[in-house]
A = this chain, B = another copy of it.
Amino acid sequence: MNNFSYYNPTRILFGKDAIAKISRYIPKDAKVLMLYGGGSIKRTGIYEQVKQALDGFTVLEFAGIEPNPDYATLMKAVQIVRDEKVDFLLAVGGGSVIDGTKFIALAAAFDQGEAWDIIKTDAARELTQAVPFGTVLTIPGTGSEMNYNLVISRRETGEKLSIKHEAIFPRFSALDPQVSYSLSAKQIRNGLVDAFMHVMEQYITYPIGAVVQDRLSESLMQSLIEVAPRAMRMDPPDYTARANFMWAAAMGLNTLVGRGVPQDWTTHMIGHELTALYGLAHAESLATVVPWLLWYKREQKGDKIVQLGMRVFGLISDDREALIEATIDALAAWFNSLGMPTTLTAYGIDPDEAAEAVAKRFDDRGWALGENADIHGSDAAAILRLSR
């Protein structure tokens, strides 16, 4: 086990009464800016629930934070925070709204020049605080509700960058599983796969004696597999299954299971490129990559693939090679069982073309990814050529 530090001060309010409780954790007399996306929260009634919970506070609103939140949009909100002397931000949405709010919280507290520098340079290191904020999560999966990461885009320059900063842990996140009732089966499926992949990318590397972390990761993956069929039920939705999905998704990327162990986020990095090139949803992109990545890296990752197969998928075999193959098959079969394709060809994408395009983007940036920093553009290409 590697040395590590772990810190996560986000307060989780979980369950049927979660949204009604948020006012306890917002400073009295605070001027609150409520931030959301395209307005679906008005159709689903979440908007009304939140407004009711904020009764007694001065509440301003900022709508229109888009998927892959754009720097230009977020800076408009920063201006409001400054002009109106806002004391507290409340993100109501999924990962994009929460990530956008994290950036706004930092940028509004930054007065050393262009706010993009926070994310592009070391300027954020100087920042010890951000505007405090909470979240009301509406789409489980990204884990942003319980971590200190953000990813935003700058369409003007074609950049998409991320940072981690301890000042942007949400003060609280309200997780009411009932908010997921208005999501489509595809959104639930995507969230399940995204959450599962977050855990897997902190797990499928090489053994390092981290018994606790391994078993915690396995417990979250097992939970997601166990509840998935019931979580996908729509009419009526299954509260208990949705609750377990929501809690597992938050736990999967709150940094706990990845402390003290090697990680490999290659699938996410290749997936981001596929999303940029072909518009695949984030989870869709991951599922077209990971079985082939595991196959391509089966020598280096073999011990953990076998462990995943035995402990999470319940496979048994004396033959190590057979077990590796059966585990990758079981993973793909699980994705498929949720209606999630695992090949680029299923989306009409030519794997050879994708391989070339992604390899170029890797090479342009000089990337060497993976737990051993040995996955270059040519490896990404080899992985994608298998995805058929």
Contacts and interface: CB of A to CB of B under 8 A. Distances in A.
A5 B8 CA distance: 14
Contact of A4 (B14, B210, B248): B14
Interface string A202-234: 000000011111011011101100110000000
Contact of A240 (B1, B7, B16, B251): B1
Contacts of A13: 5
Contact of A211 (B7, B14, B21, B226): B226
B244 A1 contact: yes
A45 interface: no
Contacts of A223: 211-212, 215
B6 A210 contact: no
A321 to B, nearest CB: 25
A88 interface: no
B6 A9 contact: no
A18 interface: yes
A247 interface: yes
Contacts of A260: 14-15, 247
A304 B210 CA distance: 27
A360 interface: no
Sorting the interface of chain A by its residue count into under 10, 10 to 19, 20 to 34 or 35 or more gives 35 or more
A48 interface: no
B6 A244 contact: no
A2 interface: yes
Interface string A182-218: 0000000000000000000000000001111101101
Contact of A8 (B8, B21, B251, B259): B8
Q: Can you tell how many copies of this chain the complex includes?
A: 2
A11 interface: yes
A109 interface: no
B3 A17 contact: yes
A11 B15 contact: no
A12 interface: yes
B209 A215 contact: no
B5 A211 contact: no
A354 interface: no
Instruction: Name which of A5, A15, A18, A226 has the most chain B CB atoms within 10 A of its CB.
Output: A5
Interface in A319-343: none
Give the interface centre of A1, A12, A218 by most chain B CB atoms within 10 Å: A1
Given A209-B240, A212-B248, A220-B215, A14 B5 contact: yes
A243 interface: yes
A212 B3 contact: no
Contacts of A21: 5
6 contacts: A1-B240, A4-B12, A15-B260, A212-B248, A216-B216, A219-B219
Interface of A: 1-18, 21, 209-213, 215-216, 218-220, 222-223, 226-227, 240, 243-244, 247-248, 251, 259-260
